[in-house]
């Protein structure tokens, strides 16, 4: 295995999301996340007290050369990484058989978008250990904006759910993600202004809270309403054959619009809960995460690991 990037041959499972008929959120969604935590106290024996700060999730990128080779990444929001710059942080995930464990990145670099400063994405290559109780979202299953526009399988009003940190009850012996629900509220035709600049985002009707920054967002394609009268049915009744499908990975939580009661006419972007939460959260699209994962430096790291693996299994010709 290359020291430059982590890879494994199928140690962990993909996040398999059921068809829409199964309305309960799949347990695997809860296993797709870990917490970004800050060390706030170290005792005389080296034990650490952690303040769980934000959420991240696990993504895989398959090798383009080596069959079944998978590269793992931990993805969170860039503003989370910037906020904790210079702090002593830990990445926490559940451990198989019980308890929690820390996991490490390959180096200390969280990679952001190469050209888009407003993309709120931070990606860390990680060493994935067999005792990490996780599932991961494959980059091959990311929902792209082109797919949304082309086949209309996902659209306004579809249900979304978010798995992330509830700072008031994060768990002690286990990481305990909270599930929040909402609806896809806007798929903008143009960039929307955020506190990081004008950005490609989706808007969802959901109450984002501080600890949920960096959480994965999933969307369930729903049944469409008929826009034209159909044979035997008046226009506007539910057409049960349109728009059905499985759950899709939409993106990650950036933040929410939040206003103080005294400033009701002056909305702003916020990452912490105070005042009146407008209930509209901002999602960084999956395709922006894919662009970070495919930036040239990370592609080169995977290719180098592929070459090293092939050399390790090639027969000695001497």
Mean pLDDT of residues grouped by 10 in the chain (318 residues)? Answer: 50 53 70 86 74 89 89 94 88 89 87 95 91 90 82 81 80 82 90 88 80 89 57 41 61 74 52 58 94 96 91 67
pLDDT at position 146: 81
- Provide the 10 A C-beta neighbour count for residue 144: 13
Distance CA 102, CA 94 (A): 9
For the domain that residue 104 is a member of, what is the CATH number? 2.40.10.120
Could you give the number of structural domains in the chain?
A: 1
pLDDT at position 270: 58
pLDDT at position 271: 53
**How many residues appear in the chain?**
318
Q: Are 214 and 36 in contact (CB under 8 A)?
A: yes
Q: Is residue 318 part of a domain?
A: no
Q: Is residue 2 part of a domain?
A: no
Nearest CA-CA partner of 249 in 161, 167, 188, 313: 161
3-state secondary structure of 123: strand
pLDDT at position 310: 87
pLDDT at position 264: 44
Nearest CA-CA partner of 164 in 59, 272, 34: 34
pLDDT at position 15: 57
- Provide the 10 A C-beta neighbour count for residue 2: 17
pLDDT at position 280: 86
Q: Is residue 1 part of a domain?
A: no
pLDDT at position 14: 59
Rounded to two decimals, the pTM is 0.81
Q: Is residue 221 part of a domain?
A: yes
Domain of residue 307: give its range. Answer: 7-313
Nearest CA-CA partner of 239 in 253, 227, 256: 227
């Amino acid at each position: 295995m290359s020291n430059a990037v982590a890879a494994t041959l199928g140690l962990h499972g993909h996040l398999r999301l059921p068809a829409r008929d199964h309305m309960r959120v799949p347990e695997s969604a809860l296993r797709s996340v870990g917490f970004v935590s800050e060390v706030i106290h170290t005792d005389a024996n080296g034990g650490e007290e952690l303040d769980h700060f934000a959420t991240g999730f696990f993504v895989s990128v398959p090798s383009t050369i080596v069959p079944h080779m998978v590269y793992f990444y931990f993805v969170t929001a860039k503003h989370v990484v910037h906020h904790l710059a210079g702090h002593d942080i830990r990445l926490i995930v559940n451990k198989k058989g019980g308890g929690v464990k820390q996991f490490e990145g390959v180096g200390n670099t969280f990679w952001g978008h190469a050209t888009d400063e407003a993309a709120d994405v931070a990606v860390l290559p990680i060493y994935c250990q067999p005792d990490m109780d996780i599932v991961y979202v494959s980059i091959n299953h990311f929902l792209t904006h082109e797919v949304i526009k082309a086949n209309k399988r996902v659209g306004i009003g579809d249900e979304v759910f978010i798995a992330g940190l509830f700072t008031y009850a994060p768990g002690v012996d286990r990481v305990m993600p909270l599930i929040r629900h909402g609806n896809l509220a806007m798929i903008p035709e143009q960039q929307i202004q955020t506190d990081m600049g004008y950005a490609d985002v989706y808007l969802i009707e959901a109450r984002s809270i501080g600890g949920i920054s960096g959480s994965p967002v999933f969307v369930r394609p729903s049944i469409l309403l008929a826009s034209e009268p159909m044979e035997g049915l008046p226009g506007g009744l539910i057409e049960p054959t349109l728009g059905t499908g499985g759950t899709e990975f939409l993106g990650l939580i950036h933040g929410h619009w939040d206003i103080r009661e005294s400033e009701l006419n002056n909305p702003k972007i916020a990452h912490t809960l105070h005042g009146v939460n407008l209930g509209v959260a901002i999602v960084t699209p999956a395709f922006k995460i894919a662009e970070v994962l495919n930036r040239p430096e990370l592609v080169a790291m995977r290719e180098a690991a592929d070459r090293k693996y092939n050399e390790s299994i090639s027969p000695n010709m001497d």
